[in-house]
């Protein structure tokens, strides 16, 4: 008997299920931008979950810019993620989730080991150049100077040059356009640009310390951040679409 039509079962945490359910309610207009969500105790009682699970879900929604958690004042809706997800997919070379995933995987494979090599082989002048790019990126956060996404790409290609491995440089350089598009798309997610800048600082710090394992971990954490955001947005989108289909049928 053929199993060709079967698909792998994804492992979804309880927190992700709660996040998707809350996001679906927001997408359907149950809570509008500016509305305050029910209290944690009320949500926990309704969903039959603990506070730690709820907070995990709320932090995930805050991460993708759907809600804002205000300490001592509750959680407020910022807007729907659906239009954001559509915008991330639209235009350019990366139009499908598979294409975004492929770029993410390729970067994870290539750039983590490139960072480790850079920690071993970079020269002082190389690190000074990366520092200069990082300072320009800081200006870009405030809307000054050059385009942040272009500088982001320069930073990553600079790390490849630090590795002193010509093949790695030649593998990354031809996909510069795709890389810049991926970075530009990911930075449309709320808070990602600031988060990325912090990660870049940690990567450079590891390179200066000549610590390959630390550089590898810092790069992996950086690349996983955008992947996590896209994955969560996709789960939210799928849940909202599924709920809408069920409503139409009923």
69, 90, 105, 167, 182 from 142: Cα distances, Å? 23, 26, 30, 35, 21
Give 115-138 pLDDT, tens digit per residue. Answer: 999 999 999 999 999 999 999 999
pLDDT at 144: 84
Q: How confident is the model at residue 6 (pLDDT cuts 50, 70, 90)?
A: very low
Domains and CATH numbers, the chain: 14-80 (1.10.10.10), 85-233 (1.20.120.530)
Cβ(102)–Cβ(113) below 8 Å: no
**Cβ pair 133, 155 in contact under 8 A:** yes
pLDDT at 1 (0 to 100): 46
pLDDT, tens only, 158-196: 999 999 999 988 888 766 776 776 677 666 665 677 888
Which tens digit of pLDDT belongs to each residue from 79-102?
A: 655 544 454 454 454 456 676 677
- State both tokens at 123: 């020269």
pTM: predicted TM-score of the whole model, two decimal places? 0.61
Q: Which of 32-36, 39-43, 148-152 has the lowest mean pLDDT?
A: 148-152
Describe the crossing of helices 176-186 and 97-121 by its angle, rounded to 10 degrees. 110
Q: What is the structure's pLDDT at 2?
A: 46
Tokens of 88: 């991330």
Instruction: Return the pLDDT at 29.
Output: 80
Going by C-alpha positions, the residue among 66, 78, 143, 159 that lies closest to residue 111 is 159
pLDDT at 9: 42
């Amino acid at each position: 008997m053929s199993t060709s039509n079967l698909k792998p079962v994804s492992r979804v945490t309880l927190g992700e299920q709660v996040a998707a359910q809350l996001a679906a309610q927001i997408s359907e207009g149950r809570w509008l931008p500016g509305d305050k969500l029910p209290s944690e105790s009320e949500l926990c009682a309704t969903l039959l979950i603990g506070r730690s699970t709820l907070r995990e879900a709320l932090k995930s929604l805050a991460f993708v810019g759907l809600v804002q958690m205000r300490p001592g004042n509750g959680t407020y809706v910022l807007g729907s993620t659906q239009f954001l997800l559509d915008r991330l997919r639209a235009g350019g070379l990366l139009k499908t989730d598979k294409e975004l995933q492929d770029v993410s995987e390729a970067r994870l494979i290539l750039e983590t080991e490139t960072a480790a090599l850079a920690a071993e082989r970079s020269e002082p002048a190389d690190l000074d150049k990366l520092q200069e790019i990082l300072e320009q990126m800081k200006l870009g956060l405030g809307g000054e100077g050059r385009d942040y996404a272009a500088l982001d790409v320069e930073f990553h290609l600079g790390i490849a040059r630090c590795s002193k491995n010509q093949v790695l440089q030649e593998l990354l350089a031809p996909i510069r356009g795709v890389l810049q598009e991926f970075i530009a798309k990911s930075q449309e997610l709320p808070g990602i640009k600031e988060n990325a800048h912090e990660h870049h600082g940690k990567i450079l710090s590891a390179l200066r310390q000549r610590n390959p394992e630390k550089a590898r971990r810092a790069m992996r954490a950086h690349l996983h951040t955008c992947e996590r955001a896209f994955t969560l947005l996709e789960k939210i989108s799928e849940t909202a679409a599924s709920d809408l289909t069920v409503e139409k049928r009923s």
